[in-house]
Amino acid sequence: MLLNYLKIALRNIKRHSLRSFIHVIGLSIGIAACFVIYNLVRYEYSFDQFHPEKEKIHRIMSVTGNAEEQWPNSGTHFPLAEAVRNELPLATEVNHFYTSNSVMISSADGEKNFGRQSGVIYADSSYFQMFPYQWLSGNRINALKNMNSIVLTEKAMQKYFGDISPNKAMGRELMVADSIPLKVTGVVADFKENSDFTFTEFISMATILNKESFRNEFHVDNWENVTSSSQLFIKIDPNDFHEAEKTLLAIRDKYIEQEDDWKTDFTLEPLNELHFSQPYSTKAADKKVINGLIAIGFFILFIACVNFINLETAQAKLRAKEVGVRKSLGSSRKQLIAQFLSETFLIIICAIIIALFLSELGIAYFKDLLPANLSFDYWSVNNVVFLSLLSIVILLLSGFYPALLLSGYSPVKALKGDRTFKKGFDFQYFLRKNLTVLQFTLSIAFIIIVMAVSGQIDYLLKKDVGFNKEAVMYTFTAFDFDDQRNQVLKEELKKYSFIQDVSLSSEMLISQGLWTTSISLAEDTSDFELGIQIKKADTSYINLYDVPLIAGRNYRIDSDETLINEMAASKLGFENPEEAIGERIDYNNEELIIVGIFKDVHTQSMYSAIRPMMIKTDNNGLFTTNIKLKPNIDLVTAKEQMQASYRSIYPNENHEFKFLDKTVENFYQSELRMKRVLGFATVVAILISCLGLFGLSSFTIAQRTKEISIRKVLGASLSNILILITKEYAFLIAIAFVLSIYPAWYFLNNWLSNFQYRMELSALTFIVAGIIAFVLSLLIVGLHSLKAANSNPAEVLKDE
């Protein structure tokens, strides 16, 4: 019986080739989109799911700020770890480690320099207790017990010592920061599973705690310093979550003085949210993007399924006689439903095969947007199960109603040529029109959103940031406070004729980084303190960036002078900038003189508002080299020469010279990715909708060829016939346009609310999107209508 169903199904698919082609193409695109998105979502949600008792692991995060703005930070104060160990009994485990993203490591004899390593942390045994590794040599309890001990992952061991066994690596030495000898006390296997804990070198925390200079450098006892490097994890029962947060706030009140204008809070972040945590992370996945991709996959598949239902119900009447014959020969309704579902199933199988090829094309096209470690194993258990379940869903969603409809024809009426279920309301016609409207509602909404997203991105990139970021390049130097080679590099670069100016600073004028502190007027006896962003730089900084001074002058090098922006002057209580000149401020136990007020400029992405800001002179911590290029130069040659100078001074560093405007553009990578994905989804949605409209209009116009011929005989003109046929579809598109306005506006309004600076939504965007859909639809229907209108009535009516 099953074989018979398949034979008949193949015969019918071949007989209705155009319909089958549209079904297969539409469904294959939808399945391919769902398949790629499923693998991406599964990958993003797989991070750190292998740790024991993962539901109990939480990270303590800090939130500092005032009533106007708050700054979340994934790190904490260094001494909080010890306080939590002693005063939070609900925590069964406390794991404190300190990340160091730029540590120079060399061989003990100094002959081999391995460059700066980004996977280094300072930790103790509690790290390996909370996040168990497979120990290849050494043991968790003793490996990081003493000073100057280091545990390596297997890959790190091979990098430093070659292809040796873990046991032979024990006791060998490495040199860190050219001055700290470390002895290997353990080797662990690298995580094979997806994890955000990608550290490869683990230096004992005792190395920091038992040396006074390190205690000061790492702010071991400082309750006023919050850094994302100081990571603190605890293990608590999820039921004790709120009680633990209350205890953390009590610890805060005990050790941290709270000001009215500057407060600190602690919050707990579950481990399963860590991969999606955004503050100061360039690797975090965006849940909004992931949820958006899921919605896009659903909508594309839904549009394809709507196509299927539309075409099948439209052509149901053509198969009424077939149903009548089969019922007369004894076929039950269940057997007919099985027959029609088998046709749908074959189409789905064909669509899946094509979808796997389309997935490869999609993966290649979006390769730069997908995670580098994401792999697509088509025949893995998870993917086979997913495709099987998706097939069943599509079969039921797309095939069940048409099968139910076809099997419901009365054999007597069908054989007499009566192809209606009942007189009066035509539910099939009603359903087809509504599904067509729904299809184009989604497509038009996609068009509106893509146009608006593109407009907002262009607005952000073109918005005046308040200074000149064009022709500015930058690079980073050694992260070492005692290293003065940055001054040598500056002087070397200034010798090039194509360079206009060079400046050293703590960071670029606009960046993703945010260093904040608090200041107060020296003569102010109140407790008022102003939270302020700070940058350190030499005297060339504001000139290089063309930052306008609106009062006073630039500071002198090696002085106690500083510059603040307009907003800072206003918040300190000065009615105009000139009043602030000469005033003294308290900053970090030193007194500075305000000698200049500069114009408010944007120093971060447009997600953030302009903040109070201070620029002060300093010779230490200037790890960024800023370069202003002259116009009309050979950029390739200039970059090569600068890089050569850099390599001669910093042979072991691997930083490159980058353009600042490109870096600013990268602030909006998430939006640029969204624009690209939405643009692709829009094209796909329109393509599937137009394919469906092509098939549907082809069928319905073919059903009206006799009517058209009679009208031509009775004197109807070509334009009359075109208007007659296309007006119905024009009306449907008009309804779809009206229905698309609110969901598109709602989405865009919510999305734009994330930006401090946003464009206004224009009615023109909505109108243009509607015109695009209207023109495409009428072109498709009009071509079919024109062909029917130009047909010879004599040929059509010769058998009447």
pLDDT of residue 567: 93
Per residue in 349-362, pLDDT (tens digit) is 999 999 999 999 98
C-alpha–C-alpha distance, residues 168 and 154, integer Å = 12
Q: Which tokens is 658 given?
A: 């980058």
Res 21 pLDDT > 90: no
- Highest average pLDDT, of 68-77, 147-156, 412-421, 724-733, comes from 147-156
CA distance 89 to 92: 7
Q: What is the mean pLDDT of residues 42-55?
A: 92
Assign 492 a pLDDT band (cuts: 50, 70, 90).
very high
> By C-alpha distance, which of 451, 459, 460, 458 is closest to 748?
451
Average of per-residue pLDDT values in the chain: 85
DSSP string, 68-81: S-EEEES-B-TTHH
Q: Is 65 helix (H, G, I), strand (E, B) or coil?
A: strand
Q: Which helix (H) or strand (E) holds 57?
A: strand 57-65
Spans of all domains in the chain? 1-52+287-424, 78-255, 443-463+668-800, 478-654
Q: Compute the CA torsion angle 199, 200, 206, 207 (nearest 10 deg).
A: -120
Q: Look at residue 667 in the predicted model and tell me its pLDDT.
A: 83
Say how far apart CA 488 and CA 28 lie, in whole Å: 61
Q: Residue 329's pLDDT is what?
A: 64
Q: Summarize pLDDT for 206-224 with one digit per residue, the tens.
A: 998 988 878 887 889 988 7
pLDDT of residue 628: 97
Mean pLDDT of all residues in 23-30: 90
Grade residue 580 by pLDDT with cuts at 50, 70 and 90.
Answer: very high
Residue 322: predicted pLDDT: 65
Task: Please give the average per-residue pLDDT across 321-347, as a whole number.
Answer: 73
pLDDT number for residue 326:
64
Q: Confirm if 439 and 684 have CB atoms less than 8 A apart.
A: no
Q: How confident is the model at residue 676 (pLDDT cuts 50, 70, 90)?
A: confident
Q: What angle do CA 792, 798, 800 make, to 5 degrees?
A: 125
Task: Return the minimum-mean-pLDDT range out of 55-69, 128-142, 303-317.
Answer: 303-317
Judge contact between 20 and 199, C-beta under 8 A: no
Helix/strand/coil (H/E/C) assignment for every residue in 449-500: HHHHHHHHHHHHHHCCCCCCCCCEEEEECCCCCCCCHHHHHHHHHCCCCCEE
The radius of gyration computed from the CA coordinates of the chain, to the nearest angstrom, equals: 34
With residue 416 as reference, give the H or E element that holds it: helix 411-416
Average pLDDT over residues 232-261: 89
List residues bridging with 266 in a β-sheet. 62
| pLDDT at 578 (0 to 100) | 93
Kind plus residue range of the DSSP H or E element containing 434: helix 427-462
Residues 646, 647, 652, 656, CA torsion sign: positive
CA-based nearest residue to 247, from 228, 268, 220: 268
Lowest-confidence region among 59-68, 318-327, 592-601? 318-327
The region of weakest confidence among 48-57, 247-256, 776-785 is: 776-785
What is the rounded CA–CA span in Å between residue 483 and residue 449?
50
Residue 154: band (very low, low, confident or very high) from pLDDT cuts 50, 70, 90: very high
Angle at which helices 669-703 and 718-752 cross, to 10°: 160
Measured in degrees and rounded to the nearest 5, phi and psi for residue 646 equal -60, -45
Kindly indicate the confidence band of residue 71, based on its pLDDT and cuts at 50, 70 and 90: confident
Q: Which of 294-298, 514-518, 598-602 has the highest mean pLDDT?
A: 598-602
- Over the stretch 369-403, which tens digit does the pLDDT of each residue have? 788 788 888 889 999 999 999 999 998 888 777 76
Q: What is the pLDDT of residues 303-327, one digit of tens each?
A: 888 888 877 776 666 666 666 666 6
178-199 residue pLDDT tens = 678 999 999 999 999 999 999 9
Cα torsion 84, 86, 90, 95: sign:
positive
pLDDT bin (cut points 50, 70, 90) of residue 581 is very high
Tens digits of residue pLDDT in 748-775? 999 888 888 888 899 999 999 999 999 9
Query: The tokens 């075109």 sit on which residue?
Result: 722
Of the CA atoms within 13 Å of residue 338, those in its CB half-sphere come to: 12
Residue type, 360: E
Q: Is the pLDDT of residue 692 over 90?
A: no
pLDDT of res. 256: 87
Asked if pLDDT for residue 144 goes beyond 60, the answer is yes
Cβ count near 217 (within 10 Å): 11
User: What was the pLDDT predicted at 260?
Assistant: 66
pLDDT at 1: 55
* pLDDT tens profile 79-97: 999 999 999 999 999 999 9
Single pTM value for the model: 0.80
